[in-house]
Amino acid sequence: MTDPATLKPRDKDIDAYGITHPGKVREVNEDHFLIAALSKQILVEHTSLPAEAQLHVEPERLASLAMVADGVGKGGGGEVASRLALQAVSEYVARSTDAFFASFNADAADPEVLSRVLTVAALECHASLLERAEQDAEHRRFGTTLTMWFGLWPHAYLLQVGDSRCYIYRDGELTQISRDQTMAQELVDQGVMSRTDAAGTRWAHVLSSAIGGHEAAPVVTRITRDWGTIVMLCSDGLTKHGPDERTAERLGNLKSSKQTCEELLQDALDDGGSDNITLIIGRTIKPTDV
């Protein structure tokens, strides 16, 4: 019998789904998302063992990765920026396997280890987009948000650049974990205007930090989670049309991540769909077979 204290989610214990839509106004969808898993496994390339004697071991899931990127730029530059950002971060993770594997062991002892690794990943991504912009005059001015969830049970690390958000729903309460990196939020933090007033200004969607922009200021937040915790990453195309109360209700009644993603997307479209809409929902389901 598995010790409950050492129980970790397997692939089949994770219900995650992502969806993206251009909305009703924009011709081009400049959002992108990605859901992935880092695992440790053995791959048999050649053996004399008969089929019934071969290894049938479920790969150990080491970590979960989810990202949302909302691009900005003229002439389709935003789509290029968000796509390149997700590709660059994914490639960095693949190249830095040793550093990430070391982080699995260091997580409990020194949480700053993985925070530094993720920050470097974002800054390298930022540098790669700046280099691309210099080489391609058509995309001299483009950028993207990057909100990344790196799940390392029982913790998770949220990396954010820009204003795509991360919410957690647990114990009947919806909490925004991320902080919008916008000029409006800066004014709110400085006490210049209230959150309500800032939301209606033109600064509400002007990024103060972006991958490929004038400045990228990655913020990494470490979170402790438990079985049943629901996580949602989304671009502002959802939050423009999805009040927290409705989102909380949808997540509170969640039966499957796919169904709730589709419901929240339809809510945003029904409310006008004025921007590209992207969201990822994920949860861990405590197993009953161990």
**DSSP assignment of 264-279:** HHHHHHHTT--S-EEE
On the question of pLDDT at 137 being above 70, the answer is no
pLDDT > 70 in the chain, percent: 90
On the question of pLDDT at 35 being above 80, the answer is yes
Domain 14-39+60-284, classified CATH 1.10.260.40, yes or no:
no
The pTM (predicted TM-score) of the whole model is 0.91
Mean pLDDT of 234-240: 95
Query: Where do the domains of the chain lie?
Result: 14-39+60-284
Q: CB under 8 Å to 14, separation ≥6 — which residues?
A: 61, 64, 282, 283, 284, 285
pLDDT bin (cut points 50, 70, 90) of residue 179 is: very high
Contact assessment for residue 235 and residue 277, using Cβ atoms and an 8 Å cutoff:
yes
Which of 276, 274, 178, 163 is closest to 211 using CA atoms? 163
Report the C-alpha gap between 151 and 286 in whole angstroms. Answer: 16
User: What is the per-residue pLDDT for 193?
Assistant: 82
Which of 245, 73, 82 is closest to 142 using CA atoms? 73
The larger pLDDT score, comparing residue 40 to residue 52, is at 40
Calculate the dihedral angle through the C-alpha atoms of 87, 88, 89, 91, rounding to the nearest 10 degrees. Answer: 80
pLDDT tens by residue, 70-116: 999 877 789 999 999 999 999 988 887 666 666 656 555 577 888 88
Report the C-alpha gap between 151 and 97 in whole angstroms. Answer: 15
Contact assessment for residue 10 and residue 61, using Cβ atoms and an 8 Å cutoff:
yes
The alpha-helical segments, DSSP class H, found in 148-256 are: 183-189, 195-199, 236-239, 244-252
The one-letter amino acid code at 173 reads E
Contact assessment for residue 224 and residue 217, using Cβ atoms and an 8 Å cutoff:
no
Report the C-alpha gap between 290 and 275 in whole angstroms. Answer: 44
Tokens encoding 172: 């009947």
Phi, psi at residue 171, to the nearest 5°?
Answer: 55, 35
Would you put residue 280 in left (φ > 0), alpha (ψ -120 to 50) or beta?
A: beta
